[in-house]
Amino acid sequence: MKLPIYMDHHATTPVDPRVVEAMLPYFSEHFGNPASRNHAFGWRAEQAVETARAQVADLLGARSREIVFTSGATESINTALKGVAAARRPKGNHIIALQTEHKAVLDSLQRLEQGDYRVSYIPVEPDGLVAVDRIARAISGDTILISILHANNEIGVIQPVTEIGALARQHGVTMHVDAAQAAGKIPIDVEADRIDLLSLTAHKLYGPKGVGALYIRRRDPRVEMTPLIDGGGHERGFRSGTLNVPGIVGLGKACEIASAEMATESMRLCALRDRLLDGLRKATDDIAVNGSLELRLPHNLNVSFAGVDGETLLMGLDDIAVSSGSACTTATPQPSHVLRALGIGDSLAQASLRFGLGRWNTEEEVDYAVEKVSRIVKRLRELSPIQH
């Protein structure tokens, strides 16, 4: 076992060697611009892009022509939310999202709220899941868009997108899904789930950073959307700019691997996650799992340790890469908005750790993490005046 250990796969993932191998020729050997239509260098690049488009589409149950390449999930989210809001403004100005959305969605919606749009932020239940009837009650005649985080980036809970998609379709509302954490980890079918728009990124599924995709439904119904980036009409006018061919090839390969290996990988990671949780529960008392354990990504564990400061705990884990539940945006740590939405108090929210297990984590690493975390928690509780 080599130290340090990486258990922060929700933040980013290492690039799979098979993905690197697929990308390498497109840096120097096949370096053409896919928009160059009059020579072999451009044709080869265009062929590689179209192969990747099909690989991404296959992971989602989509059609190749419905995939638009972007720089990542944040750009895809901005394009989806602001593009639909602009295109559908004559039909309404109301948008629905969850309180537990990723900041890329929340900040985009806040920008829209500064204009002529209003947003309903739906609360979740204590297990992190939304009650679909809450969304149903929020829909009104001027609702144009619903945005749902498929799998939460902090607590890993998986929302009922199929039911929400059916509800959106029934009311003629466009449905956007942020699948940055879900894509490649759990099955997604944009047809069965009635998803109209879906955002994903390569670097969360063992692909390179700086490339992502946006699924845009072309029929039944065709999504109305205004492009954000102009200049050349690339990607059927939805996203102008010279394509990042090596990155796109890497995203495609990462999706192909995920399609083939998702089932077996999920079983392995779920077993590792259960081993981690069981170990922590046996070695430590006053430990709480944040969010539903049943409807959850297989590689996610978010736990709180009563009587311990999360930042101090993180400092002690100098050879294990994990995240704290508190996001430090200023000098004062602020409790996670996700954990607050679950009704968890500030002190417990700030005493949380997020484990994100990955493709190359081992049982030996999990056992090491259990021993180290439990030892530091015990020591901090002995030193801390906080009662637990």
Select the more confidently predicted residue: 238 or 275.
275
Active site residue 328: yes
pLDDT at 327: 44
Q: Can you state the angle between helices 103-113 and 73-87, rounded to 10 degrees?
A: 30
Closest by CA to 89, choosing from 141, 144, 38, is 144
* pLDDT of the residue at 386: 57
pTM confidence score: 0.95
Cβ proximity of 226 and 87 under 8 Å: yes
pLDDT at position 221 is: 95
Among 328, 345, 362, 375, the one annotated catalytic: 328
Q: What residue segments make up the domains of the chain, in order of their start? A: 5-11+262-383, 17-257
Portion of the chain with pLDDT greater than 90, in percent: 86
Q: What's the whole-number average pLDDT of the chain?
A: 94
Q: What is the DSSP string of 88-133?
A: TGGG--EEEEETT--HHHHHHHHHHHTTT-EEEEE---TTSPPPHH
- What pLDDT is recorded for position 333? 63
**E-strand stretches of the chain:** 5-6, 67-70, 94-98, 118-122, 143-149, 174-178, 197-201, 212-216, 287-289, 300-305, 320-321, 323-324, 326-327, 334-335, 352-356
pLDDT for 325? 57
Which CATH number does 17-257 carry? 3.40.640.10
Do the Cβ atoms of 303 and 277 come closer than 8 Å?
A: yes
- 149-193, pLDDT tens digit by residue? 999 999 999 999 999 999 999 999 999 999 999 999 999 999 999
Strand partners, 321: 6
What whole-number distance in Å separates Cα of residue 30 and Cα of residue 149? 37
For the chain, the first-to-last Cα distance in angstroms comes to: 34
Minimum mean pLDDT among 30-44, 200-214, 358-372: which range? 30-44
pLDDT in tens, 55-113: 999 999 999 999 999 999 999 999 999 999 999 999 999 999 999 999 999 999 999 99
Decide if 154 contacts 372 (C-beta within 8 A).
no
Rg (CA), the chain: 22
Q: Is it the case that residue 385 has pLDDT exceeding 70?
A: no
CB 94 within 8 A of CB 121: no
Superfamily of segment(s) 5-11+262-383: Aspartate Aminotransferase, domain 1 (3.90.1150.10)
